[in-house]
Structure 1
Amino acid sequence: MKLSDVQIGQEYAVSFTISDEMVKTFAEITGDKNPVHLDEEYAKNTRFKKRICHGMLVASMISKVLGMDFPGPGTILVRQQLSYRAPVFVGETVEVRVTVTDKKEEKQRLILQTNVFKSDGTLAIEGQAEVLVER
């Protein structure tokens, strides 16, 4: 998608289920094998009472959307700010919602709101991103 095709206020949303396999693969790739993510017995004794997904795994779904869907191939992530608001549990479905909040034509950049919602509407991750896109 070219910069000229994008309008302020435009929104794109897509849902993903964060599977057990994704969590285990992410733990292997990153080395983050914190038992709160991998061990059900351990997680039962935490404040969450069950396994939670790595925050960065869930946030990486934002990167997938930006690079492959909206704006799409060729998009370069320049800056991203994230706040984790609620845990995402293994097996949960989340919605990544990207909203264009500003365009910087001279720099070929978009400012985006990049939020992740749980299926019950709870905000799990609140984010902002700046991306470089083709004219």
Structure 2
Amino acid sequence: MSEKFDRVEVGHRFTGVHTFDEAQVRTFASAAGDTNPLHHDIAFAEASRYGRLIASGTHTTALLLGLTASHFSRMHSVVGISFSVDLHRPVYADATVWMEWEVIAVTHGDRGSQRVTLRGSMRDEVGEECVAARGTIRVGAPMNISNQ
């Protein structure tokens, strides 16, 4: 999808979708140093309140926050300033999730930069919110790049 934008405006929305699988959940948890058996051990996870493997909060958070960088870096320099997340529900190791961010405030800075405040969420297949997030990023002036 090709989308060009010069300035970020309040109300701007963008989305992403991701499907987890057991191997990916284990690999990410290991890479993040998360040895919790809920992310690695099927028998343990089945005996837990969740009944099956769940993705690490680090995994779900990384995908949600990564979407902001991927989206804005197509046309701008971008750096994260702060993010906060609330983990409301488990994300199962076989889930497909939908992620959405909305720009809720923009402050203009020097040299064409913008301080952008966002509200985001990750929802499961039935529309339940699993992760809620807020973030602030600095978006630089538009770059002169080809968007392919």
| TM-score, scaled relative to structure 2 | 0.83
Shift in Å at residue 78 of structure 1? Answer: 0.6
Please, which runs of 5 or more residues in structure 2 have no aligned partner? Answer: 142-148
Shift in Å at residue 2 of structure 1? Answer: 8.9
CA RMSD of aligned residues (A): 1.8
The CA distance in 2 between the partners of 1:56 and 1:111, in whole Å, is 21
Indicate the SS of the match to 2:11.
Answer: coil
Shift in Å at residue 6 of structure 1? Answer: 1.7
Shift in Å at residue 46 of structure 1? Answer: 0.8
Amino acid in the other structure paired with 2:37: P
Aligned structure 1 segments of 4 or more residues deviating by more than 6 angstroms: none
Map of 2:45 onto structure 1: 43
Kept in 2, the 8 Å contact 1:3–1:108? The answer is no
Amino acid in the other structure paired with 1:122: E
Larger Rg: 2
The partner residue of 1:86 within 86, 89, 94 is: 89
Map of 1:105 onto structure 2: 108
Shift in Å at residue 24 of structure 1? Answer: 1.7
Map of 1:72 onto structure 2: 73
| TM-score, scaled relative to structure 1 | 0.91
Map of 1:122 onto structure 2: 128
The CA distance in 2 between the partners of 1:8 and 1:126, in whole Å, is 19
Indicate the SS of the match to 2:140.
Answer: coil
Please, which runs of 5 or more residues in structure 1 have no aligned partner? Answer: none
Residue 99 of structure 2 corresponds to residue 96 of structure 1: yes
Shift in Å at residue 43 of structure 1? Answer: 0.8
Amino acid in the other structure paired with 1:5: R
Shift in Å at residue 118 of structure 1? Answer: 0.8
In structure 2, the CA distance between the partners of 1:3 and 1:110, relative to structure 1 (3 Å rule), is farther
The partner residue of 1:19 within 16, 21, 46 is: 21
Q: Percent identity?
A: 21
Indicate the SS of the match to 1:109.
Answer: strand
Q: Per-residue displacement from partner, 1:16-56 (whole Å, max 9, x unpaired)?
A: 01222221221221221211111111111111111111011
